[in-house]
Amino acid sequence: MAVDRHRVAEALLAAAVFLLPWQTRWIFAQPALAGASGSGTWEYGVLGLYAVEVLILVAVVAFGWKRIAAPLQAVRAPLAVLGGLLLVSAMVGAAPAVSFLFLLHAAVAVVLGLCVAASAQRERLVVAFMIGLLPAAALGWWQTLMGGNPPSTLLGLAARAAETPGDAVVETGARLLRAYGPFPHPNMFGAYLLAGILAAGWLGVRMQRGWRAVGNSALAVVFGATLVITFSRSALLGFAAAALFAAAFALRDPALRRNRAWPAAVGGLLAAALVFHAPLLSRADTSSRLETTSVAERGAQYQEFTATFAHAPLFGTGPGAYTAALAQAFPDRPTYAYQPVHNALLLLLTEIGLAGLAALAWVGKHAVAVLRASGAFMISRRAVWIALAAFIPPALFDHYLWSSWAGLALTAVIIALVYPRRNPVS
């Protein structure tokens, strides 16, 4: 019996999207951060390969490169220039080995996006992503309610505890551990839950009756409630902005008013907010000890950004090498003190430089021109605006959409899901 190659490829891709939240990786080197004092782990310099990346590359083989690379044909010239500039930036940057591996992660994320764009079963992929978030949500609740979790090499989990200095907590007299899920930071978990809510809203247009609609709404409730216990201000702000856009569009479209996913997500969020109102208010109180420290650190990061960018404005510090450049510019601090600026757009600019940013803008301009000429969109412009509203706050107030594999992969999947195809739907 012949094996259907495309069915195998779709199954592998669905498995990769399902497993996307899990951070299991093979670490083959942990270099020290030159310029830092002490011997702490330099997280942004860890050299490793994520298990899900291997699965994605296997899916690429099953799909066939010609099939998934078709969208790149229209942007070959600007893409070649961008690739060349990124390689130059990596070679002359602060940590070439780190930069080259970062580029590999970015390339796999792009390939993941190409696979999603080429898939004939995008709805199935969205469902796989949402179901894959359920175990992550369960872990998040366990962490917050039980005060932590033990480490797991197999699942890629670090040990977390509310009593451990450095683990993200909210103080309300006692220390309440923020939900990490399987991610390195609660804010990153918040972004994935936010994407899960957007996915539920996307499916809600298509599933308005029957058990599938009920299941979709139930997932939206879970994601909305779990988003609260991440206490991620940027993700919660993104949710509020996206919900406002969705409500505004629903006022003008009866079909959108029948979408039960967004009300379900809001209901789940409000129910959890009532239970955790005290820590939520603590997160909003910028005069509290933890929040004062957080605001001060972020303010200092913007000053460091200015100095770091000025040092290498044309080609940047090298992709993924911002913290290495910080250690060179501001030596003799503890390793943990070197953090990327909490703004993904400024971090991108600093790491790839003005030349890389110009090339990236050229690629984007070319791609938009192709999309306009095609006249075909997978989803309506309304959904694009909702997604932009959701992820502009995380992009402006956090760095993980650019600085981490999980953020790169999530960004690629979201962009791929708005890639055009011949049969537009609302």
The contacts found for 374-379 with CB under 8 angstroms, 24 or more apart, are: 374/420, 376/420, 376/421, 376/422, 376/423, 376/424, 377/418, 377/420, 377/424, 378/122, 378/417, 378/418, 378/419, 378/420, 378/421, 378/424, 378/425, 379/202, 379/417, 379/418, 379/424, 379/425, 379/426
User: Which of the residue ranges 126-135, 141-150, 297-306 would you say has the lowest mean pLDDT?
Assistant: 297-306
| pLDDT at site 287 | 67
Whole-angstrom distance, CA of residue 33 vs CA of residue 327: 7
Question: What are the DSSP calls for 104-132, one per residue?
Answer: HHHHHHHHHHHHHHH-S-HHHHHHHHHHH
Domain annotation covers residue 422: no
Instruction: Report the mean per-residue pLDDT for the chain.
Output: 89
Domain annotation covers residue 423: no
| pLDDT at site 209 | 73
Backbone angles phi, psi at 26, to 5 degrees: -95, 115
Domain annotation covers residue 93: yes
Q: Which domain holds residue 299?
A: 5-416
Does pLDDT of 376 surpass 50?
no
Total-model pTM: 0.94
Domain annotation covers residue 223: yes
Domain annotation covers residue 425: no
Mean of pLDDT values over 74-87: 92
Helix or strand or coil: residue 304? helix
Does pLDDT of 353 surpass 50?
yes
pLDDT tens for residues 90-115? 999 999 999 999 999 999 999 999 99
Does pLDDT of 258 surpass 50?
yes
| pLDDT at site 422 | 43
| pLDDT at site 300 | 85
Domain annotation covers residue 12: yes
Q: How many domains does the chain have?
A: 1
Place 296 in a pLDDT band, splitting at 50, 70 and 90. Answer: confident
Domain annotation covers residue 78: yes
Domain annotation covers residue 426: no
Whole-angstrom distance, CA of residue 44 vs CA of residue 25: 14
pLDDT tens for residues 190-215? 999 999 999 999 888 877 677 888 99
Whole-angstrom distance, CA of residue 317 vs CA of residue 308: 8
User: Which of the residue ranges 33-42, 45-54, 306-315 would you say has the lowest mean pLDDT?
Assistant: 33-42
Helix or strand or coil: residue 183? coil
